[in-house]
């Protein structure tokens, strides 16, 4: 893909057959994150969260990199007001991704550095080229991965987080698969597309509302906490999720299709929500 220009925005959005693709589009800058990228990503995500045409969102990069993190050339580190603004904008973006109500699929087309790992670790399915690698390189520039630590440390654990963050070493996609941080690796761009499409197709056969509730359920249970109050909070959420599920129109439709021995067609979501009887897909 050619370099981003004034006619080519730093984030591309396409929507096809219930799938949105967000492409970081600064290939000449390693798809680094700057204010324009963050603002546009935030705007697109806000739109997609409530768009009934979209059931799944793919996040990828143009060119040879997925994302090289924050653009260090975008402003001086010593500017405290700019640093505070960058922190607030960064937290908002990563929180939006972490709390996004629809499945996020990372199509990892190349190396992932710094803040790019934060993007990856907010996604639910991660398909990577074998030639890609991951590195938390902030320490090599006198920086720390402060914002993204909230999303990485809970998943990788403190031991591995210390190693990755203190050394800044390159971790191969194969190693991340073995560690359980990437779903799978493929050898060619064509396989990257086909494997990503395979997972997307699986997600499109899942109920949108149920997927939204599952994401929230996993987040609440994983956060957990210690003590009676935390346990009660989790128990209350689990009970509410179960009871809400049992009386949902999605569940009624899914159970009806099961009884009729046909596959639900979740792409006709609007008809389900309106209480009409959708046609089941054989």
pLDDT per residue as tens digits for the range 89-125? 889 999 999 999 999 999 999 999 999 999 999 999 9
- The pLDDT, as a whole number, for residue 269 is 55
Are 54 and 104 in contact by the 8 Å Cβ rule? The answer is no
Per-residue pLDDT at 201: 97
pLDDT category of residue 274 using cuts at 50, 70 and 90: very low
> Which pLDDT does position 232 carry in this prediction?
86
**Exposure b/e, 156-189, CB count within 10 A at least 16 = b:** beeeebeebbeebeebbbeebbeeebbbbbbeee
201 compared with 2, residue with greater pLDDT: 201
Mean predicted lDDT score pLDDT of the chain: 90
Q: Can you give the pLDDT at residue 3? A: 47
CA nearest to 277, candidates 262, 56, 54, 200: 262
pLDDT tens for each residue of 149-180: 999 999 999 999 999 999 999 999 999 999 99
Q: How far is the C-alpha of 85 from the C-alpha of 64, rounded, in Å?
A: 29
Number of Cα atoms under 13 Å in the Cβ half of residue 109: 22
In Å, how far are 3, 4, 130 from 119, measured between CA atoms? 21, 20, 19
Greater model confidence, 108 or 221: 108
* Mean pLDDT to the nearest integer, 62-87: 80
Q: Which two tokens stand for residue 170?
A: 């390159």
Q: Does residue 105 contact residue 199 with C-beta atoms inside 8 Å?
A: yes
Q: Which pLDDT tens digit goes with each residue over 22-56?
A: 999 999 999 999 999 999 999 999 999 999 999 99
- Torsional class of 228: left (φ above 0), alpha (ψ -120 to 50), beta (otherwise): alpha
> At a CB cut-off of 8 Å and minimum separation 6, what does 164 contact?
135, 136, 152, 156, 171
Residue 217 has pLDDT above 60, yes or no: yes
Whole-structure pTM value? 0.88
**Phi/psi of residue 98, nearest 5 degrees:** -65, -30
The Cα angle at residue 182 between residues 176 and 187, in degrees rounded to 5? 85
Asked whether residue 268 carries a pLDDT value surpassing 70, the answer given is yes
- Report the run of H or E that residue 196 belongs to, with start and end: helix 189-204
Residue 282 has pLDDT above 50, yes or no: no
Q: Is residue 280 over pLDDT 50?
A: no
What is the CB-side half-sphere exposure of residue 17 using CA atoms within 13 A? 6
Handedness of CA 154, 160, 165, 169 (dihedral sign): negative
**Proportion of the chain above pLDDT 70, given as a percent:** 89
């Amino acid at each position: 893909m050619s370099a981003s220009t004034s006619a080519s925005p730093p984030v591309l959005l396409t929507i096809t057959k219930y799938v949105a693709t967000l492409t970081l589009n600064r290939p000449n800058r390693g798809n680094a994150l700057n204010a324009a990228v963050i603002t546009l990503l935030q705007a697109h995500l806000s739109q997609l969260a409530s768009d009934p045409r979209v059931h799944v969102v793919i996040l990828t990069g143009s060119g040879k990199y997925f994302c090289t993190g924050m653009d260090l050339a975008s402003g001086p580190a010593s500017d405290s007001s700019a640093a505070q603004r960058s922190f607030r904008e960064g937290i908002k973006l990563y929180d939006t991704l972490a709390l996004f109500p629809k499945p996020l699929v990372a199509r990892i087309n190349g190396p992932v550095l710094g803040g790019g790992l934060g993007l990856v670790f907010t996604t639910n399915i991660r398909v990577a080229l074998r030639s890609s690698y991951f590195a938390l390189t902030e320490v090599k520039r006198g920086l720390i991965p402060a914002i993204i630590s909230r999303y990485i440390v809970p998943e990788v654990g403190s031991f591995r987080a210390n190693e990755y963050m203190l050394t800044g070493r390159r971790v191969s996609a194969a190693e991340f698969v073995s560690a359980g941080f990437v779903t799978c690796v493929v050898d060619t761009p064509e396989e990257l597309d086909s494997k990503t499409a395979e997972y997307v197709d699986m997600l499109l056969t899942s109920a949108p509302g149920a997927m939204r509730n599952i994401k929230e359920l996993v987040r609440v249970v994983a956060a957990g906490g210690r003590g009676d109050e935390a346990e009660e909070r989790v128990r209350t959420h689990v009970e509410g999720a179960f009871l809400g599920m049992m009386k949902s129109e999605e569940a009624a439709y899914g159970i009806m299709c099961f009884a009729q021995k046909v596959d639900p067609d979740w792409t006709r979501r609007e008809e389900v929500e309106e209480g009409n009887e959708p046609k089941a897909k054989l």
